[in-house]
Structure 1
Amino acid sequence: MARLPIAESWVVVTGASSGLGRAAALCLAGSYKAKPILVGRRMDRLLDLQSEIELRFGIASEVVSADQSTEEGRSRIAAKIEELDATAALLAAGLTSVGRFDANNISDYHSLIETNVLGFTDLLARIVSIFKLRRSETAILAISSLGAETSLPYQAVYGASKAYMNTLIQALSIELRGTSVSVGAFLPGGIDTAMAAQSDLRWGRMGLMDVDRCAASAVEALLRRRYMTVPGLGNRVAYLASRTLPRSLIGRAASFPYRRPQ
């Protein structure tokens, strides 16, 4: 599929205040001259990123302080997409929860599901509806996780939320054939971000993918309109193993990088 032209076009990036979303916004502006719509909950970080994009690349951007888990936040994001006639969306907003399943507060799971499942689903539906009215080609990439395919002991609810995302995107990619809208999922393994630092990994940052390299792969997947992308050779081997080896074995292997909670 031909690369989506995005130079001088608006591209919405959720979760832009940190991690992969932030790195993707910088990649879009610096490497492709796209104008990012920076969406996140932390206005101070979004404004800092906006200033950095202007200073480093001379590219305009817009800031939207919004919480994906709320109806008001999703309405604000959708309104900005319509206002600026955005042509692509990279959806990186998400929460995690680390530890034994029965040791976490149920309110943490509520917040995670409201953001990663309910909020994501509603926002995606709004964006698809907007993009279907465009005459030009459009693209949506959802940042999922390799853990959605292998299972994630000690991040079980997070992994389950990403499995939901993958199933939804795969179904939509078929439903939207023949339209101007493409959808895809991006399935990284561990990335060197603040979210990974929460995960209490045995070897700290060792083995984690560099966030800028991962973001460049994600943006390329968005522009190529790929329906599923697993970045990195090691991650692709793990994905293939998850397709062929017993699920119980893969689940035990996926638990090994975590320090076992007491």
Structure 2
Amino acid sequence: MKLLEGKTAVITGSSRGLGFAIAKAFAEQGASIVLAARTADTLNSAVAELKNQGYQAEGFICDTARIEDVEGLAQRAVSTFGHLDIWVNNAGIGAPYGSTMSISPERIKKVVDTNIIGVYHGSYVAMRQFLAQGSGKLINLLGRGDSGPMPYQNAYASSKAWVKNFTQALAREYAGTGIEVMAFNPGLVITEMLTQVDAIVGFEKKVLPLNTVIRFWGNLPEVPARKVVWMASSATDRRNGLIVNFLSFGRLIAGVGKELWRWITHAPISTPIIKVRITKS
């Protein structure tokens, strides 16, 4: 039997990147999937790809900053597949790389709306459903900055610190209810969000060392997605409050060894080079 056989899962921000990789990994393990994103074209393409491979998948256009959209997303999952078992708050955006005062309030607000308000809305809607049925798994995505301040990435990093604290508090509040509230930090995932970086004028050179970091520890989205499958499965039953950091100490050491071997063997660099787009705010 597949790990998620008979389960229904919602994944926000799932038309591409890590979100789509999670959706596909869930589908491969037997789950019915509801993908959610703001852009219809990419969402429809993602749903069509899964359906063409024989998976049960539906799409729902959703801006997670709008509670009515998120409520509609949950309703679509239940009306289409009959139940809702797993909810992954994956949708997230970043602000340009640069000092906090050089970034416009509008850009900061967009990060807050998606990374904080969106996670709150998703958690609120999912938890209401889960509490009514006495079961469910809520997984919130973390990221760089969840364990401490990150200068020049203050908006994104601070939002992830909020998500971590919010998730841990929520888990404690609803301990013993049959619901697992968890968080996952996928580490460095090689997607457009990582490799196409906006930088404030004058800060673009500070981004370039990230190329080396990606060579050491970057992973294609399919790799951390497999860990999310494990978190969504029965393996984490009664492990409410679980926080998983994919970039473990062992993976840190393995990344160093991999890059050292590449250097010794003169193998070509296989990871993408970061493209920096310069902006004024």
Show structure 1 runs of 5+ residues with no match: 239-256
> In structure 2, what residue type is equivalent to 1:39?
A
* Match of residue 140 from structure 1: 138
- Mapped contact 2:119–2:140 kept (Cα < 8 A): no
CA shift for structure 1 position 125? 1.1
Instruction: Give SS of 2:65's match.
Output: coil
* Stretch moving more, 32-41 or 220-229: 220-229
2:220 is aligned with 1:210: yes
Preserved contact between residue 82 and residue 130 of structure 1 (Cα < 8 Å): no
Q: Displacement of 1:201 after TM fit?
A: 4.1
Identify the match of residue 243 of structure 2 among 207, 212, 228: 228
Go from structure 1 to structure 2 and tell me whether the alpha carbon gap of 1:146 and 1:170 turns closer, same or farther (over 3 Å shift). Answer: same
In 1, the alpha carbon distance for the partners of 2:194 and 2:124 equals 29
Secondary structure of 1:38's match?
Answer: strand
Match in the other structure for 1:19: 17
C-alpha contact 2:47 2:58 (8 A) present in aligned 1? yes
1:50 aligns with 2:47: yes
- How far apart in 2 are the matches of 1:52 and 1:28? 14
The offset of 1:236, in angstroms, is 7.2
Structure 1 residue 71 and structure 2 residue 67: aligned? yes
> Is the contact between residue 146 and residue 235 of structure 1 (CA under 8 Å) also seen in structure 2?
no
2:96 paired residue number: 98
Aligned length: 237
CA deviation profile, 1:73-132 (whole Å, cap 9, x unmatched): 222223224434111111100111122212211101111101111222122112101111
What's the counterpart of residue 62 of structure 1?
58
Counterpart amino acid of residue 22 in structure 1: F
Alignment of 1:69-218 (within 5 A): 69-83=65-79, 84-100=82-98, 101-135=100-134, 137-199=135-197, 200-204=207-211, 205-207=214-216, 208-218=218-228
Q: 2:148, 2:161 within 8 Å by CA — same for their partners in 1?
A: no
Q: How far apart are the structure 2 equivalents of 1:40 and 1:230? A: 25
TM-score by length of 2: 0.77
Query: Aligned equivalents of 1:203 and 1:159: distance in 2?
Result: 16
- Cα offset, 1:5, TM superposition: 5.7
Structure 1 residues 202 and 182: alpha-carbon distance in aligned structure 2, compared to 1, 3 A threshold: same
Distance 1:156 1:188, change over 3 A: same
Give, in angstroms, the shift of residue 197 of structure 1.
Answer: 1.6
Q: Give yes or no for contact 1:9–1:34 (8 Å, CA) kept in 2.
A: yes
Please give the secondary structure, in 2, of the residue aligned with 1:98: coil
Find the aligned partners of 2:16 and 2:249 in 1 and give their Cα distance: 25
**Shift in Å at residue 233 of structure 1?**
3.0
Amino acid at match of 1:202: P
Q: Check the 8 A contact 2:3/2:30 in 1, yes or no.
A: no
> How big is each residue's C-alpha offset from its partner over 1:181-227, in whole Å with a ceiling of 9 and x where there is no partner?
11100012221011102334424342312211011112212323351
State the superposition RMSD in angstroms. Answer: 2.6
Larger radius of gyration: 2
Matched letter for residue 107 of structure 1: E
CA shift in 2, pair 1:27/1:187, >3 Å:
same
Residues of 1 paired with 2:154 and 2:148: CA distance?
11
Aligned residue for 2:262? none
Identity value in percent: 23
Aligned to 2:215, what secondary structure does the other structure show?
coil
User: By how many angstroms is 1:237 displaced?
Assistant: 6.2
C-alpha distance in structure 1 between counterparts of 2:251 and 2:146, whole Å: 13
Give the whole-Å Cα distance in 1 for the aligned partners of 2:158 and 2:210. 24
Counterpart Cα distance in 2 of 1:189 and 1:154: 18
1:230 corresponds to which letter in structure 2?
Answer: N
Alpha-carbon distance in structure 2 between the residues aligned to 1:80 and 1:165:
25
